[in-house]
Amino acid sequence: MMEKSLSRRSFLKASAVTAGGAAASSMLAACGGSDASADGSKKKILKFGQANAKQGLDMQKSTNSGSSSIADSIFEAPLLWTEDNELVPCLLKEIPTFEADGVTLHCELKEGIKFHDGSTLTADDVKYSFERMFKPETGAKSTYMYDKIKGAKEMLAGTATELEGLTVEDDTHFTFVLTDPMITFVNNLGIDYADIFPKDACEKAGDAWGTGTNVIGTGKYKVVSNDDTTEVVLEKFEDYHDGTPALDEIHFTFIDDLNTKMMSFKNGDIDYCDLDASQLQQYQGDPDVKDLITQYQTLGVQFVNLNLSSEKLQDVRVRKALSLAINRDELIQSIAGGAGIAPSGWLAPQTPGHDDSAPTFEYDPEKAKALLAEAGVSNLELSAKVRANINQKQLVAVQDYWDKIGVKLTVETEDNGVWAQDWADGNLEITALGWFPLYADADNHMYTYFYSENAKAKSSFYNNPEFDDLVSQARIEQDQDKRADLYKQADDILTRQDYATIPLYYPKNQFVAKDYVKNAKVGNLVYHMNDVDIDTTKEDYAG
């Protein structure tokens, strides 16, 4: 008995010693010197903090902007949307244009582009990447953006194994043939869903492609380490095809908790990260952080979705009254912490088709009441279901505004999965959400949401043949000015004639970056490190 208790005590003692030793040794390790280049100058290491998207870095399989921010430094697509929301060539020599038939697109790759593994990019890699996307076993999530390529739908259905509409002429020339005209196809070649992978390496990695260090692209930075759970480390790719990348290393650290992420920023553990709208006011008042905040305009819109199949929402006067009742300027301040601008339509300002001359939506509760009376509507009761995020707060504010014109709105919160199902099934009378297109083009905005066939699956049921005509024409119009004009007209019909939806505001997002981080800029939602640099002469840059 004595022996047993002795051994128990010595166990405890030993454990305490071990724990103390471990802590001490790691504290010593933490005191190591900072990284420096061979010539003695400080290495340029950017530390970016973000939540872990947990979907891997293969953008055929992920649709998460958190995957994009890392993947876009490693992989490249044929074209590129810049932070100024412009489309420029990337792997291609120039932006291709359709032949007169509207379906044939000749493309030419730049010569001698290297992948990180040293192999050279050829048109075969392009063909391989697109065919991989349409193979059912890949489970690609954004095939709808490219499935107008001849043979794509057959591959998806498993009835073909080769992509008929993509032919390779030689190492640098290839041609797409579409089933029918789709002008935005070229735009879609600038999104990371069209990333080009090296055939051999990708085939070898199989299902593991996009995870760990199975990420080999042509991008500015190549992967050094990636544990998929805590950190991804990239380093400069010396053989990059378009100049030398500015940074030596980029460390992406995964921090899901918003509060911890901002404390890590203050602590200097990370140099650059997103700042959530819910924390904006707090950090605008923090002397250490307030001057490091940058706001940017997204391409999206936050809006109230009206279900036009509801009996109660048939009369356009009722819908207009609901819009008139909302004080958008006040709502932006109270709900979004001021991070938004009052809307004048559905399309956000940088999107071609946004009408600069249109006034912002009017706020006039008296006029709203008069319209309801004119429509013979009283004691209107509406029900809303919404996800527990900023949209819920928006609807609670709307509830109050509508109450003032005699409209009762009940707001119910639903779990993500349930809401998504209800939304698609057309079960939501009223809901609120944000719509963020992938790039500055109205097609993704208007056709995707409000074209009659699509609107059915979004609890909107908007169906106006005139609108359908305009957005369909815009899909095949080659002249960009004419396209913009078509969308201008469509937006007017949608939001100012039909009041088919109620835009609340064009949201702004914001990030924080230390003052030694140069060229930090976000064009839409994804953080790109393409142009980011570090000023090593700044005193507070530790290296």
Partner 1 sequence: MRDFLIKRVLQAVGVVICISAITFFILNVVPGDPVRVMMGDMADEQTIEQVRHNMGLDRPVTEQYVNWFGNMVQGNFGTSYTQNKSVTVLMGTAFAVTAKLAGFAYLFALVFGLVVGVVSAVYHGKWVDRLLMALSIFGISAPAFWVAILVQIVFALNLKWFPLSGVKTAAAFVLPTIALGTRYAASIARVTRTSMMDVLNQDFMRTAEAKGLKTSAIILVHGLRNALIPIITIAGTQLGEIFTGSILIESVFAIPGMGKLLLDAINARDLPLIEGGVMYIAIICVVVYLVVDILYAVVDPRIRLGGEAAE
Tell the smallest beta-carbon distance from residue 68 to partner 1 (Å): 12
Tell me whether residue 269 or residue 329 sits nearer to partner 1 (CB atom): 269
Judge contact between 336 and 384, C-beta under 8 A: no
Instruction: Classify residue 239 by its DSSP letter.
Output: T
Closest CA to 146 of 173, 172, 182: 182
Tell the smallest beta-carbon distance from residue 287 to partner 1 (Å): 15
Tell the smallest beta-carbon distance from residue 18 to partner 1 (Å): 10
Tell me whether residue 58 or residue 355 sits nearer to partner 1 (CB atom): 58
Tell the smallest beta-carbon distance from residue 72 to partner 1 (Å): 17
Tell the smallest beta-carbon distance from residue 130 to partner 1 (Å): 16
Return d(Cα 434, Cα 505) in angstroms, integer: 9
Contacts of 57 (CB under 8 A, 6+ apart): 67, 70, 71, 74, 75, 210, 211, 215, 226, 232
Tell the smallest beta-carbon distance from residue 112 to partner 1 (Å): 33
∠ CA 379-383-387 to the nearest 5 degrees?
150
Burial of 168 per CB tally in 10 Å (0-12, 13-18, 19+): middle
Reading the block at residue 259, the tokens are 């509060």
Determine if residue 212 is left, alpha or beta; phi over 0 gives left, psi from -120 to 50 gives alpha, anything else beta: left
Tell me whether residue 259 or residue 281 sits nearer to partner 1 (CB atom): 259
Judge contact between 155 and 146, C-beta under 8 A: no
Tell me whether residue 260 or residue 294 sits nearer to partner 1 (CB atom): 260
Angle between helix axes 328-336 and 390-403 (nearest 10 degrees) is 140
Tell the smallest beta-carbon distance from residue 27 to partner 1 (Å): 5
Judge contact between 271 and 47, C-beta under 8 A: yes
Tell me whether residue 64 or residue 167 sits nearer to partner 1 (CB atom): 64
Return d(Cα 531, Cα 328) in angstroms, integer: 36
Tell me whether residue 229 or residue 378 sits nearer to partner 1 (CB atom): 229
Tell the smallest beta-carbon distance from residue 137 to partner 1 (Å): 7
Closest CA to 252 of 269, 236, 276: 269
Closest CA to 498 of 346, 370, 363: 346
Bridge partners, residue 272, by sequence: 48, 513
Tell me whether residue 63 or residue 413 sits nearer to partner 1 (CB atom): 63
Residues of the shown chain interacting with partner 1 in the complex, contacts defined by CB under 8 A: 1-2, 5, 9, 12, 15-16, 19, 22-23, 25-27, 29-30, 52, 54-56, 58, 61, 63-64, 136-137, 139, 141-144, 156, 207, 210-211, 228-231, 253-257, 259-260, 263-264, 266-267, 269, 415-418, 420-421, 423-424, 433, 435, 438, 444, 448, 454, 457
Taking the chain, what is the end-to-end CA distance rounded to the nearest angstrom? 58
How many CB atoms are located within 10 Å of the residue 226 CB? 22
Tell the smallest beta-carbon distance from residue 301 to partner 1 (Å): 13
Tell the smallest beta-carbon distance from residue 45 to partner 1 (Å): 15
Contacts of 12 (CB under 8 A, 6+ apart): none
Return d(Cα 43, Cα 248) in angstroms, integer: 6
Tell me whether residue 54 or residue 408 sits nearer to partner 1 (CB atom): 54
Tell me whether residue 24 or residue 88 sits nearer to partner 1 (CB atom): 24
Tell me whether residue 176 or residue 254 sits nearer to partner 1 (CB atom): 254
Tell me whether residue 260 or residue 497 sits nearer to partner 1 (CB atom): 260
Number of helical (H) and strand (E) elements in the chain, helices listed first: 18, 19
Where would I find the beta strands (DSSP E) of 24-123?
45-50, 79-81, 87-89, 104-108
Tell the smallest beta-carbon distance from residue 263 to partner 1 (Å): 6
